[in-house]
Amino acid sequence: MRSPRARLAGFLVAPVALVAAFTAGYGLADAKAPPDASLAAAQELIAATGASKQFEAVVPLMVKQLEPILIQMVPGKESEIKEIMALMVERFSERRSEMLDIIAKIYAAKLSEAEMKDLSAFFSKGAGAAFIAKQPEIVTESMAAGQQWGEKIGVEIEQQIRQELEKRGIKI
């Protein structure tokens, strides 16, 4: 079983990976500031795809995952930890707009204004809107499936590493 500190580190990695996925290549995208019209189209696309709503959940999710670990690490301080965690949700949720500005710049650097407007129109009605509506469920179930698969593969990799080491006379 993983230690509370290892679990804490693991819970921090998942949301950071999400942010990293959305911001990959940001340094390159920031080299030339996109025109205001492109940024506006990018912000419209972000709203149409529901990306802004996804980031509303990042900080509360991180806190929700961290809270029981911290309570386990510091027994008897549950009320203080809960109070601090609520403060962290409030404090860092206010900074969501920073992330959305970064994403808007990336979108504007990678897509033309016309493409972003077309995508916004697609995601605002019909099949696009249906996809966006179901996306939270899809992401949640996909993440759970990915976690289960990763755990299964992790065990298999560990077993095969041990077997290969044993074949070579290396004991661990």
- Per-residue pLDDT 10s for the chain (172 aa) are 555 554 444 544 455 454 555 454 444 444 578 899 999 999 999 999 988 887 788 888 888 899 999 999 999 999 999 999 999 999 888 888 898 999 999 999 999 999 999 999 999 999 999 999 998 899 899 999 999 999 999 999 999 999 999 999 998 8
Task: State the residue range of the domain holding 140.
Answer: 125-172
146 and 97 share a domain? Answer: no
C-alpha distances in Å from residue 153, one per residue of 11, 147, 156, 160: 19, 10, 5, 10
Pair 80, 48 in one domain: yes
Average pLDDT, the chain: 84
41 and 119 share a domain?
Answer: yes
Within this chain, do residues 104 and 43 fall inside the same structural domain, yes or no?
A: yes
Shared domain for 63 and 115, answered yes or no, is yes
Are 108 and 26 found together in one domain?
Answer: yes
User: What are the start-end ranges of the H helices in 24-125?
Assistant: 26-29, 36-49, 51-56, 58-73, 78-93, 96-110, 113-123
Residue 99 shares a structural domain with residue 154: no
Tell me the C-alpha distance between 156 and 18, whole Å. 26
Angle at alpha carbon of residue 92, lines to 90 and 95, rounded to 5°: 115
The predicted model scores a pTM of: 0.59
Question: What is the rounded CA–CA span in Å between residue 92 and residue 17?
Answer: 17
Same domain, yes or no: 108 and 147: no
111 shares a domain with 63: yes
Instruction: Clarify whether residues 50 and 23 are in a common domain.
Output: yes
Structurally, the chain folds into a number of domains equal to 2
Euclidean distance between CA atoms 15 and 131, whole angstroms = 22
Give the pLDDT of residue 139.
Answer: 87
Are 12 and 4 contacting, i.e. CB atoms less than 8 angstroms apart? no
Same domain, 129 and 92: no
- 134 in the same domain as 61: no
